[in-house]
Amino acid sequence: MKNKSVLSKILSYTKPYKWYLVLAMIFALVSVALTLYAPILTGNAIDLIIEKNNVDFDGISVILIKFAVVVGITAITQWLMNLCTNKLTFYTVRDIRVRAFERLQIVPLKYIDAQRQGDMISRMITDVEQISDGLLMGFTQLFSGIVTIFGTIGFMLSIDLKITVVVVLITPLSLFVASFIAKRTFNMFKIQSETRGEMTSLIEEMIGNQKVVKAFCYEDDAEEKFDEINSRLQQCGVKALFYSALTNPCTRFVNGLVYSGVGIFGAVSALSGRITVGQLSCFLSYANQYTKPFNEISGVITELQSAFASAKRVFEIIEEEPQTPDAENAVVLDEADGRVEIKNVSFSYVPEVSLIENLNLSVKPGQRIAIVGPTGCGKTTIINLLMRFYDVNKGEISVSGYPVTEITRDSLRSNYGMVLQETWLKSGTIFENIAYGKPDATMEEVVAAAKAAHCHSFIKRLPKGYMTEISDEGSNISQGQKQLLCIARVMLCLPPMLILDEATSSIDTLTEIRIQKAFAKMMEGRTSFIVAHRLSTIKEADCILVMDKGHIIEQGTHDELLLNKGFYANLYNSQFAVS
């Protein structure tokens, strides 16, 4: 993506608000022109103040009234311009952000799974903010800066050519100094931010895991590492800080030179009567502000560069290929009958590594399928395929006799009740969370679902009951209780088929018993797929899929598999091997 195309993309987002852009430019033009006109007026007035007993008060009062009007209009147009750029920027940025989020809702899961979450969040937050800052500065300062430079030169030319030439000749010096500093600063900042990044990740790692550090008496080693980075940070920090602090004094210096130049040449010109003292004063005030727009523009350019870099990252999300849309004639499956047919299915995440090959499974309504295997064997792959989070590479999965590709995704998924091991709750009240799948549920329905999931009693004991807010931190809800809430969420809709992921740990016994009871109740008469860890669940299954390293290696009932004396038999026996 070239900067140019990024720019045109950003601009395309401003289209709905183009009138703000047009207005902003008009206001900018007016306010800059008037700002530059004001010194001419003061200069004229000064020319009327000559010496004792020689002051033209009538002339001055006319000029001063004009001056007051000019100042008033300048202030108003300046303010209006800011309002326009504000709206333009914030509307545009909101649209970009919403568009990115909307895209996240329709990209294939494959994309989301492959991204690092922190990175995605920083694109949605920090990068979008960077775009916003860049746009705001770009809109307000770039245009008016350029207008100011040309306007100043124009006004100066209208007064005197020679002095203008002096000013214009000193200008490249200012640009040279600015670019020299900018380059140095950029390099130093790069080193500094790298070192700072190193420091931050060390701090995050060590303090974030302080308990481990203490357990291994690693404090001194950690401090040693820390000191080393800290002293490097000090060295490069001093340089970065110094170079970045150069900009102000240096531009003040260049400004001073311009001022002196104008002063000397202007005074000499005044001697020969080519310009008046008032015009000299007008030149002086131009000289005072002359380098300001140059600095602003170089600031805007750096800001715009990082805004473009950020925009690229955000547009990557927005332009990510969405999942294949539902077929036009796709069936809306209201209530599945519980039949699931898996025919010759092959699937792999990456083409080179084959995972599931030629899987066949026919599930009758109400049957229980247990999926077992060692850690990391890819049990969740099956869930991904059943829910159509991922599409199969070959073969076909059908539900109620329809191939899943011919059913709308929404209706297919609403026929499955899913409880995953990683409990996910939204920030919000318990009520909202249980009613997640059915936002119009009444309190009675929610309570009934909670009772069925054995979580009513603990919810009732919370000070705010069903209105308790669930949040990441300071939560008074344990892991097991969260799982119960997830079960209640499914209970409320209770679809004809279930996908359950048994928890391996972190749940206390009492809660675990409750979860088992709730699971058992849900499964009654429903086709269920269970990622199973518990022997009792596995034994009662109608069919066991045994997985290893992503492949389904055995398939059958508990007894059949034991007779087989294969992988499952080994797995089963190993639990009793140690004595």
Partner 1 sequence: MFRLFKYLKNYVLESILGPLFKMTEATFELIVPIVMSKIIETGIKHNDKEYILKLGGVLVLLGVLGLACSLTAQFFAAKASMGFGTALRKDLYHHINKFSHAEIDRIGTSTLITRMTSDINQAQTGVNMFLRLFLRSPFIVIGAIIAALIINVKLTLIFLVASPIIALIIYLIMTISIPKYTAIAKKTDKVSLLTRENLAGVRVVRAFSRQEEEKQDFKETSESLMKHQIVVGRISALLNPATYVVVNLAILAIMWFGGKTVYAGDLSQGEVIALVNYMSRILLALVALANLIVILTKASASSLRINEIFNTKPELSDENAKEITENNSENAVEFKNVSFKYSSDADNAVSGLTFTVKKGQTIGIIGGTGSGKSTLINLIPRFYEVSQGEVLVNGENVKDYTFTNLREKIGIVPQKAVLFKGTIRDNMRWGKADATDEEIYKALDIAQAREFVDSKPDGLDTMIMQNGRNLSGGQRQRLTIARAIVKKCEILILDDSASALDYATDAKLRKAISEQTEGLTVFIVSQRATTIKNADMIIVMDDGEIAGIGTHKELLKNCNEYREICQSQLSREEIERDEK
CA distance 165 to 79: 33
Q: Which residues pair with 18 in a beta bridge?
A: none
SS (H, E, C) 476-521: CCCHHHHHHHHHHHHHHHCCCEEEEECCCCCCCHHHHHHHHHHHHH
The answer for residues whose C-beta is within 8 angstroms of residue 426's C-beta and 6 or more apart is 432, 433, 436, 470
Using the rule CB under 8 A, is 329 a contact of partner 1?
no
The DSSP letter of residue 331 is B
Short-list 505, 515, 565, CA closest to 537:
515
SS3 state at 547: strand
- For partner 1, the closer of residues 241 and 563 by Cβ is 241
Short-list 285, 284, 299, 282, CA closest to 248:
299
CA distance 465 to 469: 9
Pairing relation of β-strands 543-548 and 368-372? Answer: parallel
Please list every residue from 87 through 106 that binds partner 1, using CB under 8 A.
87, 90-91, 93-94, 97-98, 101-102, 104-106
Among 10, 142, 163, 280, binds partner 1 (CB under 8 A): 280
Among 14, 86, 405, 557, binds partner 1 (CB under 8 A): 86
Q: Closest distance between partner 1 and the C-beta of residue 3, in Å?
A: 26
C-beta neighbour count of 457 within 10 angstroms: 10
- For partner 1, the closer of residues 90 and 343 by Cβ is 90
- For partner 1, the closer of residues 329 and 576 by Cβ is 576
Considering only the stretches 328-336, 356-364, 408-416, 522-530, report the one whose residues sit in contact with partner 1 under the rule CB under 8 A.
Answer: 408-416
- The number of angstroms, rounded, from the C-alpha of 263 to the middle of its chain's C-alpha atoms is 52
- For partner 1, the closer of residues 364 and 565 by Cβ is 565
Structure tokens of 175? 């640009």
Q: Which x/- pattern over 133-172 shows residues binding partner 1 (rule: CB under 8 A)?
A: ----------------------------------------
Task: Compute how many residues bind partner 1; rule: CB under 8 A.
Answer: 153
CA distance 336 to 113: 28
Among 11, 22, 109, 157, binds partner 1 (CB under 8 A): 109
User: Residue 264: left if φ>0, alpha if ψ -120 to 50, beta else—which one?
Assistant: alpha
Q: Closest distance between partner 1 and the C-beta of residue 360, in Å?
A: 25
Short-list 276, 296, 337, 232, CA closest to 44:
276
Structure tokens of 577? 């091997």
Considering only the stretches 9-17, 235-243, 334-342, 352-360, report the one whose residues sit in contact with partner 1 under the rule CB under 8 A.
Answer: 235-243
Q: Closest distance between partner 1 and the C-beta of residue 115, in Å?
A: 8
Please list every residue from 361 through 390 that binds partner 1, using CB under 8 A.
373-376, 387, 389
Contact 121, 317 (CB under 8 A): no
Give the CA-trace dihedral at 223, 225, 228, 229, to 10 degrees.
Answer: -110
- For partner 1, the closer of residues 281 and 298 by Cβ is 281
Considering only the stretches 158-166, 263-271, 338-346, 456-464, report the one whose residues sit in contact with partner 1 under the rule CB under 8 A.
Answer: 263-271
- The number of angstroms, rounded, from the C-alpha of 481 to the middle of its chain's C-alpha atoms is 31
Using the rule CB under 8 A, is 14 a contact of partner 1?
no
Please list every residue from 466 through 495 that binds partner 1, using CB under 8 A.
478-480, 489, 493
Using the rule CB under 8 A, is 74 a contact of partner 1?
yes
Q: Closest distance between partner 1 and the C-beta of residue 5, in Å?
A: 25
Hey, what amino acid is at 12? S
Q: Closest distance between partner 1 and the C-beta of residue 26, in Å?
A: 16
E strands, 255-414, in order? 340-347, 356-363, 368-372, 394-399, 402-403
Q: Which x/- pattern over 544-573 shows residues binding partner 1 (rule: CB under 8 A)?
A: --------------------------xx--
Using the rule CB under 8 A, is 440 a contact of partner 1?
no
The DSSP letter of residue 325 is P
Among 11, 121, 443, 467, binds partner 1 (CB under 8 A): 121
Using the rule CB under 8 A, is 72 a contact of partner 1?
yes
Considering only the stretches 266-274, 303-311, 352-360, 523-531, report the one whose residues sit in contact with partner 1 under the rule CB under 8 A.
Answer: 266-274
Short-list 182, 178, 162, 156, CA closest to 292:
178
The DSSP letter of residue 372 is E
Q: Closest distance between partner 1 and the C-beta of residue 4, in Å?
A: 28
Among 3, 8, 193, 234, binds partner 1 (CB under 8 A): 234
Q: Closest distance between partner 1 and the C-beta of residue 85, in Å?
A: 9
Among 2, 4, 114, 217, binds partner 1 (CB under 8 A): 217
Please list every residue from 333 through 362 that binds partner 1, using CB under 8 A.
none
Q: Closest distance between partner 1 and the C-beta of residue 344, in Å?
A: 26
CA distance 185 to 472: 40
Dihedral sign for Cα atoms in the order 231, 236, 241, 246: positive
C-beta neighbour count of 148 within 10 angstroms: 24
Tokens 């998924």 found at: 413
Using the rule CB under 8 A, is 274 a contact of partner 1?
no
Please list every residue from 21 through 60 that binds partner 1, using CB under 8 A.
38, 42, 45-46, 48-55, 57, 60
Among 426, 440, 444, 461, binds partner 1 (CB under 8 A): 426
Cα–Cα separations (whole angstroms), residue 237 to 197, 200, 202:
13, 15, 18
CA distance 294 to 221: 49
Considering only the stretches 21-29, 145-153, 216-224, 304-312, report the one whose residues sit in contact with partner 1 under the rule CB under 8 A.
Answer: 216-224
Among 172, 351, 401, 439, binds partner 1 (CB under 8 A): 439
Pairing relation of β-strands 356-363 and 543-548? Answer: unpaired
Please list every residue from 504 through 543 that binds partner 1, using CB under 8 A.
504-513, 516, 533-536, 539
Using the rule CB under 8 A, is 306 a contact of partner 1?
no
Using the rule CB under 8 A, is 222 a contact of partner 1?
yes
CA distance 511 to 519: 12
Considering only the stretches 299-307, 331-339, 422-430, 448-456, report the one whose residues sit in contact with partner 1 under the rule CB under 8 A.
Answer: 422-430
Q: Closest distance between partner 1 and the C-beta of residue 306, in Å?
A: 18
